[in-house]
Chains A and B, each alone.
Chain A
Amino acid sequence: MIRSLSFHFKSAIKNLFRHFGMTLLSLTGITIILTLIATFVVSSVNIGAITNGITKNIKIQALVDPVVTSEEIKTLQSAIQTIDGVESVVHKTKHDELESFIKNTSTGDQESAFAQYRGAENPLKDAFYVTLKNQDSLIGSTDQAQKQRLQTIRQKISEIKGITNVFYGGSSVEKLIVLLSNIKIIGYVITGILGILSIFLIQNTIKSTIYARQEEIAIMRNVGASNGFIKVPFMIEGIIIGLIGSIIPSTIVILGYPSLYKVVNAVKVVKLIEVQPFVYQVALILAGIGMVIGLIGAFLSTTKYLRFKR
Protein backbone atom coordinates (compact mmCIF):
# COMPACT_ATOMS: atom_id res chain seq x y z
CA MET A 1 0.00 0.00 0.00
CA ILE A 2 2.68 2.49 1.06
CA ARG A 3 4.81 1.54 -1.91
CA SER A 4 2.10 2.41 -4.38
CA LEU A 5 1.18 5.68 -2.67
CA SER A 6 2.70 7.76 -5.45
CA PHE A 7 0.62 5.79 -7.93
CA HIS A 8 -2.55 6.60 -5.96
CA PHE A 9 -1.68 10.27 -5.63
CA LYS A 10 -0.94 10.55 -9.31
CA SER A 11 -4.22 9.00 -10.32
CA ALA A 12 -6.17 11.05 -7.77
CA ILE A 13 -4.74 14.30 -9.09
CA LYS A 14 -5.25 13.15 -12.66
CA ASN A 15 -8.91 12.50 -11.83
CA LEU A 16 -9.32 15.96 -10.36
CA PHE A 17 -8.21 17.53 -13.60
CA ARG A 18 -9.94 15.05 -15.87
CA HIS A 19 -13.31 16.11 -14.47
CA PHE A 20 -12.37 19.68 -13.91
CA GLY A 21 -15.93 20.96 -14.32
CA MET A 22 -17.34 18.52 -11.81
CA THR A 23 -14.44 19.12 -9.45
CA LEU A 24 -14.97 22.87 -9.68
CA LEU A 25 -18.66 22.45 -9.00
CA SER A 26 -18.16 20.43 -5.87
CA LEU A 27 -15.29 22.65 -4.77
CA THR A 28 -17.60 25.64 -5.00
CA GLY A 29 -20.26 23.80 -3.06
CA ILE A 30 -17.84 22.68 -0.36
CA THR A 31 -16.39 26.18 -0.13
CA ILE A 32 -19.82 27.72 0.42
CA ILE A 33 -20.83 25.07 2.90
CA LEU A 34 -17.56 25.30 4.82
CA THR A 35 -17.90 29.08 4.90
CA LEU A 36 -21.32 28.68 6.49
CA ILE A 37 -19.94 26.07 8.86
CA ALA A 38 -17.12 28.48 9.71
CA THR A 39 -19.69 31.17 10.54
CA PHE A 40 -21.54 28.78 12.81
CA VAL A 41 -18.39 27.51 14.47
CA VAL A 42 -17.12 31.03 15.13
CA SER A 43 -20.49 32.23 16.45
CA SER A 44 -21.18 29.08 18.50
CA VAL A 45 -17.83 29.21 20.23
CA ASN A 46 -18.22 32.92 20.87
CA ILE A 47 -21.76 32.51 22.14
CA GLY A 48 -20.38 29.89 24.50
CA ALA A 49 -17.78 32.37 25.71
CA ILE A 50 -20.36 35.14 26.09
CA THR A 51 -22.71 32.90 28.05
CA ASN A 52 -19.75 31.99 30.20
CA GLY A 53 -19.02 35.66 30.78
CA ILE A 54 -22.61 36.43 31.70
CA THR A 55 -22.95 33.61 34.16
CA LYS A 56 -19.59 34.51 35.66
CA ASN A 57 -20.91 38.00 36.32
CA ILE A 58 -24.20 36.95 37.80
CA LYS A 59 -24.42 38.54 41.25
CA ILE A 60 -27.36 38.21 43.54
CA GLN A 61 -28.37 41.42 45.26
CA ALA A 62 -30.11 40.96 48.61
CA LEU A 63 -31.67 44.02 50.26
CA VAL A 64 -31.65 44.31 54.05
CA ASP A 65 -34.63 45.33 56.14
CA PRO A 66 -33.91 48.84 57.63
CA VAL A 67 -34.80 47.57 61.11
CA VAL A 68 -31.78 45.24 61.13
CA THR A 69 -29.02 46.66 63.31
CA SER A 70 -25.40 46.84 62.24
CA GLU A 71 -24.51 44.01 64.72
CA GLU A 72 -27.13 41.75 63.18
CA ILE A 73 -25.72 42.49 59.72
CA LYS A 74 -22.67 40.36 60.58
CA THR A 75 -24.81 37.33 61.44
CA LEU A 76 -26.89 37.82 58.29
CA GLN A 77 -23.73 37.93 56.20
CA SER A 78 -22.39 34.70 57.66
CA ALA A 79 -25.80 33.07 57.21
CA ILE A 80 -25.72 33.83 53.48
CA GLN A 81 -22.11 32.73 53.32
CA THR A 82 -23.00 29.25 54.58
CA ILE A 83 -25.55 28.64 51.80
CA ASP A 84 -24.38 25.94 49.40
CA GLY A 85 -23.06 27.40 46.15
CA VAL A 86 -22.19 30.84 47.52
CA GLU A 87 -18.67 32.00 46.82
CA SER A 88 -18.51 35.34 48.62
CA VAL A 89 -20.74 37.95 50.19
CA VAL A 90 -19.95 41.65 50.18
CA HIS A 91 -21.83 44.07 52.38
CA LYS A 92 -22.61 47.57 51.09
CA THR A 93 -24.21 50.15 53.36
CA LYS A 94 -27.04 52.29 52.04
CA HIS A 95 -24.56 55.19 51.85
CA ASP A 96 -22.27 53.17 49.59
CA GLU A 97 -25.27 52.29 47.48
CA LEU A 98 -26.37 55.89 47.11
CA GLU A 99 -22.86 57.06 46.26
CA SER A 100 -22.50 54.54 43.45
CA PHE A 101 -26.01 55.42 42.27
CA ILE A 102 -25.15 59.12 42.20
CA LYS A 103 -21.95 58.33 40.37
CA ASN A 104 -23.78 56.30 37.73
CA THR A 105 -26.41 58.96 37.12
CA SER A 106 -24.05 61.99 37.05
CA THR A 107 -23.21 63.54 33.70
CA GLY A 108 -19.80 65.16 33.29
CA ASP A 109 -19.06 67.47 36.19
CA GLN A 110 -22.75 68.09 36.87
CA GLU A 111 -23.70 66.04 39.95
CA SER A 112 -26.85 63.96 39.80
CA ALA A 113 -30.07 65.28 41.28
CA PHE A 114 -30.08 62.29 43.60
CA ALA A 115 -27.23 63.92 45.54
CA GLN A 116 -29.84 65.70 47.67
CA TYR A 117 -30.79 62.37 49.26
CA ARG A 118 -27.43 62.12 51.02
CA GLY A 119 -27.53 61.70 54.78
CA ALA A 120 -30.66 60.88 56.79
CA GLU A 121 -32.94 61.29 53.77
CA ASN A 122 -31.33 58.27 52.06
CA PRO A 123 -34.24 56.03 50.95
CA LEU A 124 -32.03 53.11 49.96
CA LYS A 125 -31.37 49.97 51.95
CA ASP A 126 -28.22 48.13 52.90
CA ALA A 127 -27.44 45.35 50.46
CA PHE A 128 -25.43 42.15 50.16
CA TYR A 129 -23.78 41.25 46.84
CA VAL A 130 -23.52 37.48 46.53
CA THR A 131 -21.11 35.87 44.06
CA LEU A 132 -21.79 32.25 43.06
CA LYS A 133 -19.35 29.36 43.27
CA ASN A 134 -18.24 27.03 40.42
CA GLN A 135 -19.11 29.41 37.62
CA ASP A 136 -17.27 27.32 35.05
CA SER A 137 -19.40 24.27 35.72
CA LEU A 138 -22.42 26.36 34.86
CA ILE A 139 -21.34 26.29 31.23
CA GLY A 140 -21.29 22.56 30.92
CA SER A 141 -24.55 22.15 32.79
CA THR A 142 -27.86 22.27 31.00
CA ASP A 143 -29.75 25.51 31.25
CA GLN A 144 -32.50 23.95 33.27
CA ALA A 145 -30.03 22.85 35.93
CA GLN A 146 -28.42 26.26 35.89
CA LYS A 147 -31.75 27.96 36.29
CA GLN A 148 -32.56 25.58 39.09
CA ARG A 149 -29.36 26.48 40.93
CA LEU A 150 -30.01 30.17 40.70
CA GLN A 151 -33.57 29.67 41.92
CA THR A 152 -32.54 27.55 44.91
CA ILE A 153 -29.90 29.99 46.09
CA ARG A 154 -32.23 32.90 45.62
CA GLN A 155 -34.95 31.06 47.54
CA LYS A 156 -32.63 30.29 50.45
CA ILE A 157 -31.42 33.88 50.72
CA SER A 158 -34.93 35.29 50.70
CA GLU A 159 -35.94 32.91 53.50
CA ILE A 160 -33.36 34.45 55.85
CA LYS A 161 -35.02 36.76 58.35
CA GLY A 162 -34.03 40.38 57.82
CA ILE A 163 -33.78 40.13 54.00
CA THR A 164 -36.58 41.97 52.21
CA ASN A 165 -35.88 41.54 48.49
CA VAL A 166 -33.59 39.39 46.35
CA PHE A 167 -32.62 40.41 42.79
CA TYR A 168 -30.29 38.77 40.32
CA GLY A 169 -31.14 40.37 37.02
CA GLY A 170 -33.97 37.92 37.32
CA SER A 171 -35.70 36.24 34.44
CA SER A 172 -34.05 38.46 31.82
CA VAL A 173 -30.69 36.82 32.55
CA GLU A 174 -32.29 33.40 32.44
CA LYS A 175 -33.96 34.19 29.16
CA LEU A 176 -30.73 35.47 27.66
CA ILE A 177 -28.85 32.33 28.71
CA VAL A 178 -31.54 30.09 27.26
CA LEU A 179 -31.72 32.12 24.06
CA LEU A 180 -27.97 32.04 23.53
CA SER A 181 -27.79 28.33 24.13
CA ASN A 182 -30.67 27.76 21.72
CA ILE A 183 -28.85 29.76 19.07
CA LYS A 184 -25.82 27.59 19.75
CA ILE A 185 -27.84 24.39 19.36
CA ILE A 186 -29.43 25.62 16.12
CA GLY A 187 -25.93 26.45 14.89
CA TYR A 188 -24.77 22.91 15.58
CA VAL A 189 -27.82 21.39 13.91
CA ILE A 190 -27.37 23.51 10.80
CA THR A 191 -23.67 22.66 10.74
CA GLY A 192 -24.58 18.97 10.88
CA ILE A 193 -27.12 19.28 8.07
CA LEU A 194 -24.65 21.21 5.91
CA GLY A 195 -22.03 18.57 6.62
CA ILE A 196 -24.33 15.82 5.37
CA LEU A 197 -25.24 17.93 2.35
CA SER A 198 -21.59 18.32 1.42
CA ILE A 199 -21.02 14.58 1.80
CA PHE A 200 -23.66 14.04 -0.88
CA LEU A 201 -22.02 16.66 -3.04
CA ILE A 202 -18.64 14.95 -2.89
CA GLN A 203 -20.27 11.55 -3.28
CA ASN A 204 -21.72 12.69 -6.60
CA THR A 205 -18.43 14.07 -7.81
CA ILE A 206 -16.66 10.84 -6.99
CA LYS A 207 -19.47 8.88 -8.62
CA SER A 208 -18.93 10.73 -11.88
CA THR A 209 -15.21 10.07 -11.59
CA ILE A 210 -15.94 6.38 -11.12
CA TYR A 211 -18.15 6.27 -14.19
CA ALA A 212 -15.57 8.07 -16.24
CA ARG A 213 -12.98 5.58 -15.08
CA GLN A 214 -15.12 2.47 -15.46
CA GLU A 215 -12.89 0.99 -18.09
CA GLU A 216 -9.80 1.59 -16.05
CA ILE A 217 -11.48 0.00 -13.04
CA ALA A 218 -12.51 -2.99 -15.17
CA ILE A 219 -8.89 -3.39 -16.25
CA MET A 220 -7.72 -3.08 -12.66
CA ARG A 221 -10.09 -5.87 -11.64
CA ASN A 222 -9.06 -7.88 -14.64
CA VAL A 223 -5.42 -7.88 -13.61
CA GLY A 224 -6.19 -8.55 -9.96
CA ALA A 225 -6.26 -5.21 -8.12
CA SER A 226 -8.05 -5.54 -4.79
CA ASN A 227 -11.11 -3.40 -4.03
CA GLY A 228 -9.15 -1.56 -1.37
CA PHE A 229 -6.50 -0.66 -3.89
CA ILE A 230 -9.08 0.52 -6.41
CA LYS A 231 -10.69 2.72 -3.75
CA VAL A 232 -7.58 4.56 -2.55
CA PRO A 233 -7.23 7.12 -5.40
CA PHE A 234 -10.90 8.05 -5.03
CA MET A 235 -10.49 8.53 -1.29
CA ILE A 236 -7.47 10.73 -1.87
CA GLU A 237 -9.45 12.66 -4.46
CA GLY A 238 -12.23 13.24 -1.93
CA ILE A 239 -9.78 14.34 0.75
CA ILE A 240 -8.07 16.74 -1.64
CA ILE A 241 -11.41 18.28 -2.67
CA GLY A 242 -12.35 18.73 0.99
CA LEU A 243 -8.98 20.21 1.84
CA ILE A 244 -8.96 22.65 -1.07
CA GLY A 245 -12.56 23.55 -0.25
CA SER A 246 -11.46 24.66 3.23
CA ILE A 247 -8.88 27.16 1.95
CA ILE A 248 -11.23 30.06 1.20
CA PRO A 249 -13.37 29.69 4.36
CA SER A 250 -10.22 29.50 6.49
CA THR A 251 -8.83 32.60 4.80
CA ILE A 252 -12.08 34.42 5.43
CA VAL A 253 -11.90 33.52 9.11
CA ILE A 254 -8.22 34.39 9.48
CA LEU A 255 -8.59 37.75 7.70
CA GLY A 256 -12.13 38.62 8.73
CA TYR A 257 -12.31 37.65 12.38
CA PRO A 258 -9.81 40.27 13.62
CA SER A 259 -12.01 43.06 12.17
CA LEU A 260 -15.12 41.55 13.76
CA TYR A 261 -13.19 41.28 17.02
CA LYS A 262 -12.21 44.95 16.89
CA VAL A 263 -15.73 46.16 16.07
CA VAL A 264 -17.52 44.06 18.69
CA ASN A 265 -15.03 44.69 21.46
CA ALA A 266 -15.19 48.44 20.77
CA VAL A 267 -18.83 48.33 21.90
CA LYS A 268 -17.67 46.83 25.22
CA VAL A 269 -20.92 44.95 25.84
CA VAL A 270 -19.54 41.50 25.15
CA LYS A 271 -16.01 40.30 24.71
CA LEU A 272 -15.14 37.95 21.86
CA ILE A 273 -12.47 35.26 22.01
CA GLU A 274 -8.90 36.48 21.42
CA VAL A 275 -7.87 36.40 17.76
CA GLN A 276 -4.53 34.70 17.97
CA PRO A 277 -4.79 31.01 18.51
CA PHE A 278 -8.53 30.99 17.79
CA VAL A 279 -8.51 31.74 14.04
CA TYR A 280 -5.86 29.07 13.40
CA GLN A 281 -7.77 26.57 15.48
CA VAL A 282 -10.89 27.31 13.43
CA ALA A 283 -8.89 26.97 10.19
CA LEU A 284 -7.58 23.60 11.36
CA ILE A 285 -11.08 22.47 12.30
CA LEU A 286 -12.37 23.54 8.86
CA ALA A 287 -9.59 21.64 7.08
CA GLY A 288 -10.37 18.62 9.27
CA ILE A 289 -14.10 18.81 8.56
CA GLY A 290 -13.40 19.21 4.83
CA MET A 291 -11.13 16.17 4.69
CA VAL A 292 -13.45 13.99 6.75
CA ILE A 293 -16.41 14.99 4.57
CA GLY A 294 -14.38 14.21 1.43
CA LEU A 295 -13.27 10.88 2.79
CA ILE A 296 -16.77 9.83 3.81
CA GLY A 297 -18.26 10.95 0.48
CA ALA A 298 -15.64 9.06 -1.51
CA PHE A 299 -15.92 6.00 0.70
CA LEU A 300 -19.69 5.86 0.29
CA SER A 301 -19.68 6.13 -3.49
CA THR A 302 -16.81 3.68 -4.08
CA THR A 303 -18.24 1.15 -1.66
CA LYS A 304 -21.62 1.40 -3.33
CA TYR A 305 -20.09 0.91 -6.75
CA LEU A 306 -17.69 -1.90 -5.95
CA ARG A 307 -19.57 -3.95 -3.39
CA PHE A 308 -21.55 -6.35 -5.51
CA LYS A 309 -19.04 -6.98 -8.22
CA ARG A 310 -16.56 -9.79 -8.27
Chain B
Amino acid sequence: MNSSVSVLLFGITRDLTGQSTIPVSLNEGANVGDLLAQLHQSYPALTGIRSLLVAVNGEYAETDLTLTSNDEIALIPPVSGG
Protein backbone atom coordinates (compact mmCIF):
# COMPACT_ATOMS: atom_id res chain seq x y z
CA MET B 1 0.00 0.00 0.00
CA ASN B 2 1.31 3.47 -0.87
CA SER B 3 1.25 6.41 1.45
CA SER B 4 1.89 10.04 0.68
CA VAL B 5 4.10 12.23 2.83
CA SER B 6 5.13 15.83 2.39
CA VAL B 7 8.78 16.73 2.81
CA LEU B 8 9.81 20.13 4.19
CA LEU B 9 12.57 21.95 2.31
CA PHE B 10 14.89 24.68 3.49
CA GLY B 11 17.76 26.77 2.14
CA ILE B 12 19.34 25.51 -1.04
CA THR B 13 16.95 22.57 -1.40
CA ARG B 14 14.03 25.01 -1.50
CA ASP B 15 15.79 27.20 -4.04
CA LEU B 16 16.74 24.24 -6.28
CA THR B 17 13.25 22.74 -6.36
CA GLY B 18 11.36 26.02 -6.20
CA GLN B 19 9.11 24.56 -3.49
CA SER B 20 9.01 24.64 0.30
CA THR B 21 7.28 21.26 0.57
CA ILE B 22 7.19 18.41 -1.90
CA PRO B 23 4.78 15.49 -1.83
CA VAL B 24 6.38 12.05 -2.04
CA SER B 25 4.58 8.76 -2.48
CA LEU B 26 6.17 5.99 -0.41
CA ASN B 27 5.76 2.25 -0.55
CA GLU B 28 4.79 0.44 2.65
CA GLY B 29 7.89 -0.02 4.79
CA ALA B 30 9.96 2.59 2.90
CA ASN B 31 12.86 4.02 4.85
CA VAL B 32 14.86 7.25 4.81
CA GLY B 33 17.30 5.88 2.23
CA ASP B 34 14.42 5.01 -0.12
CA LEU B 35 13.04 8.53 0.28
CA LEU B 36 16.41 10.10 -0.57
CA ALA B 37 16.82 7.89 -3.63
CA GLN B 38 13.35 8.84 -4.83
CA LEU B 39 13.98 12.55 -4.29
CA HIS B 40 17.31 12.42 -6.12
CA GLN B 41 15.58 10.74 -9.04
CA SER B 42 12.77 13.32 -9.18
CA TYR B 43 15.05 16.31 -8.55
CA PRO B 44 18.50 15.58 -10.06
CA ALA B 45 19.65 19.09 -9.04
CA LEU B 46 19.75 17.87 -5.42
CA THR B 47 22.80 15.72 -6.18
CA GLY B 48 24.89 18.91 -6.48
CA ILE B 49 24.54 19.58 -2.74
CA ARG B 50 27.53 18.73 -0.54
CA SER B 51 25.47 16.55 1.82
CA LEU B 52 21.81 15.93 2.41
CA LEU B 53 20.47 14.61 5.70
CA VAL B 54 16.91 13.80 6.66
CA ALA B 55 15.15 14.76 9.88
CA VAL B 56 12.14 12.79 11.03
CA ASN B 57 9.92 14.38 13.68
CA GLY B 58 12.60 16.92 14.47
CA GLU B 59 15.51 14.47 14.91
CA TYR B 60 18.33 13.54 12.54
CA ALA B 61 17.47 10.12 11.10
CA GLU B 62 19.60 7.20 9.91
CA THR B 63 18.95 5.86 6.40
CA ASP B 64 17.43 2.61 7.72
CA LEU B 65 14.66 4.33 9.71
CA THR B 66 11.23 3.25 8.45
CA LEU B 67 8.87 6.10 7.58
CA THR B 68 5.14 6.36 8.26
CA SER B 69 2.55 8.73 6.85
CA ASN B 70 2.30 10.63 10.16
CA ASP B 71 5.99 11.55 10.25
CA GLU B 72 7.16 15.14 9.85
CA ILE B 73 9.98 14.79 7.34
CA ALA B 74 12.52 17.47 6.43
CA LEU B 75 15.55 17.59 4.16
CA ILE B 76 18.58 19.09 5.89
CA PRO B 77 21.23 20.49 3.52
CA PRO B 78 24.60 21.51 5.05
CA VAL B 79 23.85 23.82 7.97
CA SER B 80 25.46 27.25 8.21
CA GLY B 81 24.16 28.92 11.36
CA GLY B 82 26.21 31.09 13.65
A joins B in a complex? no
